[in-house]
Amino acid sequence: MLQYKFERLDSNKNELGNFLLDRKPEKCPICNSIQEPSFVSAYKLNDNRIEAIFKCNKSTCKHLFISILKLNINYSVYNCTLSKSYPTNPVRIEFDEDISTISPLFVNIYNQARNAEGIGLNHVAGMGYRKSLEFLIKDYLIKHKDEDEETIKEAFLGKCIKQYLSDNIKQVAERATWLGNDETHYHRVWEDKDIKDLKKLIDLTVYWISSEIQTDRYITEMDSRK
Ligand SMILES: [Zn+2]
């Protein structure tokens, strides 16, 4: 157990107290590096919570962050358990080069949705994932399949998927839009599915699109030398 001092913000008394902490945060939530941050100070806010300030020790970061500590008072000893740290800065998900070249906006919107999900904004995240899927499909059709840009831009996503995509991509992308629409509309149709299923279907769509781009590349490269 680690022992530190806290300052009280939950009463008029300006006293200090000691508390025991089970462990320090194992990584900085801002740069996401695994390391041992330094303890700076801590404040007791109410009966069940202390907020502790830590400093990241990575030379390129050095930011301060706050960790929430849950408090159990045991025979007047303040025992704390590390809960969560913030602000969070989730690691950006990188997609393979084919995907990020064809649709940089898909990558951006997907990561924004993921950030929203990371801070508990589930409703906004669901709509974001649905939007990212639309950019992925339409950019793929315009940039890789050479479909007419104006036609694709104006068409509903459902029509683009049904009309222009090969079977594997169509099957997963169509189901992703069904769940995506549930995240966007008033009435939920797929009660037993959630944002995790939507993400899984988007991942599968990315997988099939990426496979198709790589297959096309090998065919073009090798057939031209036959
Ligand atoms: Zn850091």
Higher confidence at residue 21 or residue 7?
A: 21
What average pLDDT does the chain have? 91
- C-alpha 152 to ligand 1 mean position (Å): 43
Give the largest Cα separation in the chain, rounded.
86
If you compute the radius of gyration of the chain from its CA atoms, what whole number of angstroms results?
Answer: 25
Residue 223's pLDDT is 87
Rounded mean pLDDT of 215-224?
90
Q: Identify the DSSP state of 50.
A: E
When pLDDT is cut at 50, 70 and 90, the band that residue 192 belongs to is confident
Mean pLDDT, to the nearest integer, of 132-161? Answer: 96
Distance CA 104, CA 86 (A): 28
d(CA 161, CA 176): 11
Confirm if 56 and 67 have CB atoms less than 8 A apart.
Answer: no
The answer to whether residue 56 scores a pLDDT higher than 70 is: yes
Instruction: Give the mean pLDDT of 146-162.
Output: 95
List, in order of start, the domains of the chain with CATH numbers.
Answer: 2-86 (no CATH), 97-223 (1.20.120)
Q: How far is the CA of 182 from the centre of ligand 1 (A)?
A: 37
What is the mean predicted confidence (pLDDT) over 124-128?
Answer: 93
User: In degrees, to the nearest 5, what angle opens at C-alpha 185 toward C-alphas 181 and 187?
Assistant: 105
CA 107 to ligand 1 center in whole angstroms: 24
The Cβ-side half-sphere exposure at 96, using a 13 Å CA radius, reads: 10
Separation of 38 CA from ligand 1 center, angstroms?
A: 11
The Å distance, Cα 96 to ligand 1 centre, comes to 26
Q: Which amino acid is at 20?
A: L
Report whether pLDDT(155) > 90. yes
Q: How far is the CA of 32 from the centre of ligand 1 (A)?
A: 6
Supply the pTM of this predicted model. Answer: 0.74
Q: What is the band of 14 on the pLDDT scale with cuts at 50, 70, 90? A: low
Q: Has residue 16 got a pLDDT over 80?
A: no
Mind listing the pLDDT tens digit for each residue in 70-123? Answer: 988 777 788 999 998 989 888 889 999 999 999 999 999 999 999 999 888 888
Average the pLDDT over 204-217 and give the result.
96
17 C-alpha vs ligand 1 centroid, how far in Å?
Answer: 28
Q: Is the pLDDT of residue 146 over 70?
A: yes
